Amino acid sequence: MALQLQPLHPLFVAQASGIDLTKALRDEDIKAINAAMNQYAVLVWKNQPLSQEQQIAFSESFGPLDIGLKRVFKRKERLPDERLIDISNVDLDGQIHRRDSPKNLSSFANQLWHSDSSFMSPRAAYSMLHALVIPSEGGNTEFCDLRAAHDELPQALKAELKDLSAEHYALHTRILLGDDAYTDEQKKAIPPAVWPLITEHPGSKRSVLFVGVHAHKIIGWPIAEARIFLSDLLEHATQRRFVYTHEWEVGDMVMWDNRSTLHRGRRYDLTQRRELRRTTFNDVPEANLAAS
Ligand code: OGA
Ligand code: MN
CA–CA gap between residue 272 and residue 229 (Å, rounded): 37
Q: Is 94 left (phi over 0), alpha (psi -120 to 50) or beta?
A: left
Task: For ligand 1, atom 6, name the residue with the nearest CA.
Answer: 116
CA–CA gap between residue 119 and residue 179 (Å, rounded): 18
Distance 155 CA to ligand 1 centre (A): 33
Q: Among 200, 102, 96, 186, which residue's Cα sits nearest to residue 146? A: 200
Percent of the chain with pLDDT over 70: 100
What pLDDT band is residue 100 in, cutting at 50, 70 and 90? confident
CA–CA gap between residue 214 and residue 125 (Å, rounded): 16
DSSP-derived secondary structure letter, 284: -
- Average pLDDT rounded to a whole number, residues 7-12: 98
List % helix, strand, coil for the chain (3-state, nearest 5): 25, 25, 45
Homologous superfamily, domain 4-282: Clavaminate synthase-like (3.60.130.10)
Q: Ligand 1 in contact with 214 (CB < 6 A)?
A: no
What is the pLDDT at residue 70? 81
Residues 6 or more apart in contact with residue 281 via CB below 8 angstroms:
59, 60, 62, 63, 64, 65, 66, 124, 125, 126, 287
Taking only the tens place, the pLDDT of each residue in 150-197 is 999 999 999 999 999 999 999 999 999 999 889 999 899 889 999 999
Q: Which atom of ligand 1 is nearest to the CA of 274?
A: 10
Q: Among 178, 174, 175, 147, which residue's Cα sits nearest to residue 261? A: 147
Q: Ligand 1 in contact with 116 (CB < 6 A)?
A: yes
Residues 6 or more apart in contact with residue 207 via CB below 8 angstroms:
147, 150, 151, 198, 199, 200, 201
Lowest average pLDDT, out of 1-10, 68-77, 92-101, 273-282, goes to 68-77
* Domain ranges (residues) in the chain: 4-282
What is the pLDDT at residue 103? 83
Q: Ligand 1 in contact with 274 (CB < 6 A)?
A: no
Residues 6 or more apart in contact with residue 92 via CB below 8 angstroms:
76, 77, 78
Q: Ligand 1 in contact with 193 (CB < 6 A)?
A: no
Distance 264 CA to ligand 2 centre (A): 7
Distance 38 CA to ligand 1 centre (A): 21
Taking only the tens place, the pLDDT of each residue in 20-72 is 999 999 999 999 999 999 999 999 999 999 999 999 999 999 999 998 888 88
Residues 6 or more apart in contact with residue 171 via CB below 8 angstroms:
72, 180, 182, 186, 187
DSSP-derived secondary structure letter, 206: -
> First-to-last CA distance in the chain?
18
Distance 107 CA to ligand 1 centre (A): 7
Taking only the tens place, the pLDDT of each residue in 221-230 is 999 999 999 9
| Cα diameter, the chain | 55
**Cβ atoms of 65 and 36 closer than 8 Å:** no
Distance 53 CA to ligand 2 centre (A): 21
CA–CA gap between residue 235 and residue 269 (Å, rounded): 26
Q: Would the pTM count as exceeding 0.85? A: yes
CA–CA gap between residue 81 and residue 86 (Å, rounded): 10
- Average pLDDT rounded to a whole number, residues 93-108: 90
Q: Ligand 1 in contact with 110 (CB < 6 A)?
A: yes
